[in-house]
Amino acid sequence: MEKRRKIFEVKHLQKYYFTQQKQQLKAVDDVSFDIYEGETLGIVGESGCGKTTCGKTCLGMVDKTGGEVLFLGKDVHAMNRKEHFEFTKKVQMVFQDPYASLDPHQKVYQIIAEGIQIHKIAKNKKEEEKLVFELLEMVGLNVEHAARNVHEFSGGQRQRIGIARALSVNPEFLFCDEPISALDVSIQAQIINLLMKLQKERNLTMLFIAHDLSIVKHISDRIGVMYLGKMVELTRSDMLYANPKHPYTQALLSAIPIADPDESKKKEKVMLAGDVPSPLNPPKGCRFAGRCQHCMEICKTADPNMVEVEEGHFVACHLY
């Protein structure tokens, strides 16, 4: 892992918002991780835990409150216009809702060609057409689709168009923000398999945000688990499933349904007490303390640090 190039380095990242009542909402609070070349880092957690805000702050789409984000050694939040223009070519995004992220009245050709034109990737119109048609076929669409309007397509097809648009500038890094949550279950697997195929073919590095742990396991090399703005566990995908350390991760994994009824009965379920605290008024100490069956006195007063419990396996919990 150490020999591979670091694409992103995220150090103590913070993103706070203020409500109209001047209350502070800590959407992302002291989160650190690295993303290495050619890997997929998955970030999971329930809705509102700050995973999308974390991703968008890493990309500079949202201003940070504190901490540091480095892309290939350069500070994302301190780039000049020229550096930022180059950054937008190397880093692209696949959005959550293909109905909202694509203009329904634009032609598919225009949507995919826009990045090619902005970054002057094609030498002439003929080369531009060739690139657009290749991209359409790459994501499982036909050349004839280029002349049609986006509103004529289904959700799954729209997401394929969104992926083709993201790949049009030949990026190194892809940020996928819950790219399948708005799609039918039957289409989800197709989009996941497409992303995995494209990653291998184009040596892409990916940050994949989702709340479905079974999907994240399928696509990710490493997984980070977030809870109420904090990263509570980070390790290899297989390690997380075989040996989850944080009580919240254990609860999440125990909630994954198993198709076999006999196996499902044998499986030990971890039931969580109470509700997720408000991010406007998070509890002192560990944010998970009020719902944790292993809660100790220290958990109510001191915030646990991320510690390495085994090689490459990091946990923020006073049990370790």
Distance CA 2, CA 55 (A): 23
For residue 239, CA distances in Å to 30, 76, 166 come to 24, 31, 31
pLDDT computed for residue 1 by the predictor: 44
pLDDT computed for residue 19 by the predictor: 84
Q: What b-and-e string marks burial along 101-113, b requiring 16 or more CB atoms within 10 Å of the CB?
A: bbeeeeebbebbb
pLDDT computed for residue 120 by the predictor: 92
**Mean pLDDT for back-to-back runs of 10 residues, the chain (320 residues):** 80 91 88 94 90 93 94 93 93 88 88 92 92 92 89 88 92 91 83 89 92 85 93 93 90 74 66 77 86 87 91 91
Rounded to the nearest 5°, which phi and psi values hold at 265?
Answer: -65, -35
Cβ–Cβ < 8 Å for 32, 200: no
Identify how many contiguous H helices and E strands the chain contains and give both numbers: 11, 12
Rounded to the nearest 5°, which phi and psi values hold at 255?
Answer: -85, -10
Cβ–Cβ < 8 Å for 262, 313: no
Cβ–Cβ < 8 Å for 44, 216: yes
